[in-house]
Amino acid sequence: MNILHLDSAITGEASVSRKLTANIVAKLTAANPGAGVSYRDLNEGVPAIDTNWFHAVRLAPENPSAEQQRLIDISDRYLAEVQQADVLVIGLPIYNFNLTAQLKNWLDQIARAGVSFRYTEAGPEGLLTGKRAVIAYSAAGTPIGSDLDHASGYIRFMLGFLGITDVEFVAADRLAMDREAGLARAQDALDRLAA
């Protein structure tokens, strides 16, 4: 089993989502001692896609410039990590009712027509199949699945669009209202999580 562990919280050691992802990975590796873990902290910076990225990655010139090749290499590296993973453990802290900009940038980097999905006569088809995703959702005031939550449905949709349809959530929500109850809900979900 290969596990890709992704964090994106800006709050460092105080981050609930980082603690949850670490606990999820610990549970998975305890049950699968031979598992390999790759770690990426998206908070260290994920380039946003822009016109230069479009010309380099999407248009895929036959002879890319050095700068275009650098952009291609960055996107390829993110995508290769996902392609090699059997399980993705993703930290999803909620800021302003949505996912972090870094996590959105990462999704933009890996959503590549013809590589991670393709268009068919029947509609789009995800190419990153056979993978499982466990999402560590943390929010001070945004209940998971509520009308205020614009993140959990989006990430589930995006992963499904790319072919990853086995998606589970370990959620610590409403922490500002009742931190102990929110953490208890997350622990209960973690306890029930299949390893």
User: pLDDT by residue (tens digit) across 102-118?
Assistant: 999 999 999 999 999 99
The sign of the torsion formed by the CA atoms of 9, 171, 124, 83 equals positive
The annotation status of 134 as a binding-site residue, yes or no, is: no
Q: Cα 64 vs. chain centroid, distance in angstroms?
A: 29
Domains of the chain: 2-192 (3.40.50.360)
3-class SS of residue 158: helix
Looking at the predicted structure, is the pLDDT value of residue 4 above 90? yes
SS3 content of the chain, % helix, strand, coil (to 5): 45, 25, 35
User: pLDDT by residue (tens digit) across 121-160?
Assistant: 999 999 999 999 999 999 999 999 999 999 999 999 999 9
Tell me the mean pLDDT in the region 85-114. 97
Q: How many helices (H) and strands (E) does the chain have?
A: 6, 7
Q: How far apart are CA 85 and CA 76, in angstroms?
A: 14
> What pLDDT sits at residue 88?
98
User: pLDDT by residue (tens digit) across 158-179?
Assistant: 999 999 999 999 999 999 999 9
Closest CA to 45 of 7, 76, 97: 7
Question: pTM for this one?
Answer: 0.96
% the chain with pLDDT above 70: 100
The annotation status of 16 as a binding-site residue, yes or no, is: yes
Looking at the predicted structure, is the pLDDT value of residue 3 above 90? yes
Q: How far apart are CA 31 and CA 193, in angstroms?
A: 11
The annotation status of 17 as a binding-site residue, yes or no, is: yes
Task: Please give the mean pLDDT across all residues of the chain.
Answer: 96
Tell me the mean pLDDT in the region 2-20. 97
Tell me the mean pLDDT in the region 35-64. 96
- Is residue 88 within 8 Å of 164, Cβ to Cβ? yes
Tell me the mean pLDDT in the region 30-43. 96
